[in-house]
Structure 1
């Protein structure tokens, strides 16, 4: 019996082909596994983005209260979702402000065709914002003025609403960004972040002396300490003279106004109308009778 022969069979070549085939198969399996891994990762990322994405659809619909006592677990969850939605307002405000300022500074609107006058392009950021996005000129300025303060405060962990930031804008314009943030930081250190209000910031800014000098090279916390020291060393402003009429005088004026209305055959005469005529008579150079009476009364009261 003849030995069975395989023409052209080479053990080394066969081994190489087999190894190559196995390598290709392993590579293909690895590619498929990698593709599945990337797809799963992409799906997880998409799901996370959708979960974090703000939107009206994420806010629960308005419903009547479950009762008059403590909030139920469902009501608390609804409240938390709504508060988170409200807090997004500040972030969105500064995102819009920075966007407007970037477009304005780089004049990125210069080649955008005017929606109502297609024969020309927009010439100002205010025009573009108003026509394209319904943002009024004054609102555009407000957003652009405050975003830097809002951004820094947000980075420092403060959820400062627009009303609070707006109170710091004039101070920012005079003394710089760090100084404005320093004011906020000073108030936080004094009363706590949860008690900061726009009114408190407005009142604080009024306390600083007119010759206030700050270095923009200092740290914000150092500036906050300097501001606190400036307030402590400032001379309290003199109280403004009161323009309110004494109660007794108000009653007498109202009584005389009724008598005046009777003589004129009219209904009630407002106090302001009487005051207007009185001042006009006092200023009348052709008839000095009211002036003379006021003069005599003032001379008597000062003697």
Structure 2
């Protein structure tokens, strides 16, 4: 048998470049498998997170008879909480739907969608589109579009609002602006308790508003609530210090810049005010409180200095 018949080359005798290429290929394969495993894990985690956050009928327990006459079992308590979460979701879903409808209507986003009954043309109005495409009546569509902003602001203030309640204060929004409508709700909630607010109570309050009522649409919600309360009981609260127009314009410009950063069409001044107050009251982060304190100290110092100068 000749040496050339069975020419076996061992690793030590292989060419250096061939060995390096082989090791590189092995490393690349391992890296690729590791990346694939990581990508699969991330995809599974994302899917699980989406599933957890996505509302659905499958998350609501099926109706069953009570486990007994007495206190709820641990399983019943869990099912009770899950059902309450479903009810709360329904109370919020209406103004999410209203905002979606309003966005579609305002931007005429239906304009290149073929009409379901007349496919030779596209939809021209939201009144055509909503009933045929989503089964939402024209009346309901209008009510949802008119009320969603109020619902959004009240939800941000943690009020358990529902569409029946908001419908009663939409006329206030139409007449005096968003903040005034929210102020009416806040007034009733503060008087009766947030858990006792009803559509009837709001309707009665709106009917009591005087016909010659004058309100500043850009005024703070809580100030407006006190103003309205004063009108209802015949007592006017002390006039708040007016915000200089220059400051108002500067706030509006900052709100526009904020909306750009957050990729939103606009941010109402009332929302900026709410976040500002929350930041001011935050016990864990005194940054805003300290900044305002310093500005107020500086303002008082300058006022005293001006007063002394005037007396000289």
Q: Does TM, scored on the shorter chain, surpass 0.5?
A: yes
For 2:99, what is the secondary structure of its paired residue?
A: helix
1:18/1:69 CA distance change after superposition, 3 Å: same
Contact residue 61 and residue 83 of structure 2 kept, 8 A: yes
Contact residue 160 and residue 194 of structure 2 kept, 8 A: no
Cα drift, residue 75 of structure 1: 2.0
Tell me how far apart the structure 2 counterparts of residues 17 and 228 of structure 1 sit (CA, whole Å).
88
Cα drift, residue 28 of structure 1: 7.2
- Cα offsets for 1:137-196 (capped at 9, x unmatched): 111111111111111111222221111111111111111101111111222222322222
Cross-structure match for 2:118: 117
Q: More displaced, 180-189 or 18-27? A: 18-27
For 1:217, what is the secondary structure of its paired residue?
A: coil
The answer to whether residue 200 in structure 2 is matched with residue 196 in structure 1 is no
Cα drift, residue 15 of structure 1: 11
Contact residue 160 and residue 195 of structure 2 kept, 8 A: no
1:20/1:178 CA distance change after superposition, 3 Å: farther
Tell me how far apart the structure 1 counterparts of residues 17 and 231 of structure 2 sit (CA, whole Å).
85
Cross-structure match for 2:297: none
Cross-structure match for 1:156: 157
Cross-structure match for 1:67: 68
Cross-structure match for 1:43: 44
- Matched ranges for 1:58-97 at <5 A: 58-97=59-98
For 1:76, what is the secondary structure of its paired residue?
A: helix
- Cα offsets for 1:200-241 (capped at 9, x unmatched): 21122222211111112221111122122221217xxxxxxx
Cross-structure match for 1:251: none
Cα drift, residue 21 of structure 1: 9.3
1:18/1:96 CA distance change after superposition, 3 Å: same
Structure (1 or 2) with the larger CA radius of gyration: 1
The answer to whether residue 119 in structure 2 is matched with residue 143 in structure 1 is no
Runs of at least 5 residues in structure 1 that lack an aligned partner in the other structure = 1-13, 235-303
Cross-structure match for 2:266: none
Tell me how far apart the structure 2 counterparts of residues 233 and 226 of structure 1 sit (CA, whole Å).
10
Cα drift, residue 18 of structure 1: 9.7
For 2:172, what is the secondary structure of its paired residue?
A: helix
- Cα offsets for 1:35-62 (capped at 9, x unmatched): 5444323321211211221111111111
Tell me how far apart the structure 2 counterparts of residues 158 and 202 of structure 1 sit (CA, whole Å).
18
For 1:224, what is the secondary structure of its paired residue?
A: helix
Count the aligned residue pairs.
222
Runs of at least 5 residues in structure 2 that lack an aligned partner in the other structure = 1-14, 236-312
Q: Which runs of 4+ in 1 moved over 6 A?
A: 14-28
Cross-structure match for 2:102: 101
